[in-house]
Amino acid sequence: MLSLVSRSFCLMVSGCQGSRRSIATVISGNKTSKLVRDRLRNDVEKMKVQFSGFRPSLVVLQVGDRDDSNLYISTKLKAAAEIGIDAKHVRLPSSATQAEVLQSVLSVNENPSVHGLIVQLPLDSVNRIDTELVTNAVSPDKDVDGLSCINAGKLSRGDLKDCFIPCTPNGCMELIRQTGVSVAGKHAVVIGRSKIVGAPMHDLLLWNHATVTTCHSKTPDLPEQVSRADILVVGAGRAEMVRGEWVKQGAVVIDCGINHVPDETRASGKRVVGDVHYASANQRAGFITPVPGGVGPMTVAMLMENTVQSAHRFILRHQADR
Confidence of residue 319 (pLDDT cuts 50, 70, 90): confident
pLDDT for 11: 45
pLDDT for 21: 56
* Mean predicted confidence (pLDDT) in 169-181: 98
Tell me: do 292 and 176 sit in the same domain: yes
CATH number of the domain enclosing 249: 3.40.50.720
* Mean predicted confidence (pLDDT) in 128-154: 97
Tell me: do 281 and 171 sit in the same domain: yes
* Number of domains the chain is built from: 2
Tell me: do 182 and 237 sit in the same domain: yes
The candidate with the shortest Cα–Cα distance to 197, out of 157, 252, 254, is 254
pLDDT higher for 22 or 130? 130
Could you list the residue range(s) of the whole structural domain that residue 283 is in?
166-297
Tell me: do 121 and 179 sit in the same domain: no
Burial group, residue 251, by CB count within 10 angstroms (0-12, 13-18, 19+)? buried
* Mean predicted confidence (pLDDT) in 189-211: 97
CATH number of the domain enclosing 63: 3.40.50.10860
pLDDT for 22: 75
Tell me: do 127 and 213 sit in the same domain: no
pLDDT higher for 15 or 250? 250
State the Cα–Cα distance between residues 165 and 147, nearest whole angstrom: 8
Tell me: do 197 and 108 sit in the same domain: no
pLDDT for 14: 39
pLDDT tens digit sequence for 62-117: 999 999 999 999 999 999 999 999 999 999 999 999 999 999 999 999 999 999 99
Query: Does the residue 32 lie in any domain?
Result: no
Q: β-strands 270-273, 259-262: how paired?
A: antiparallel
State the Cα–Cα distance between residues 304 and 39, nearest whole angstrom: 11
pLDDT for 4: 62
Confidence of residue 322 (pLDDT cuts 50, 70, 90): low
Query: Does the residue 70 lie in any domain?
Result: yes
Confidence of residue 17 (pLDDT cuts 50, 70, 90): very low
286 Cβ contact list (under 8 Å, min separation 6): 8, 12, 22, 24, 25, 179, 181, 249, 250, 251, 252
Catalytic residue IDs: 76
Residue 155 clears pLDDT 90, i.e. is over it: yes
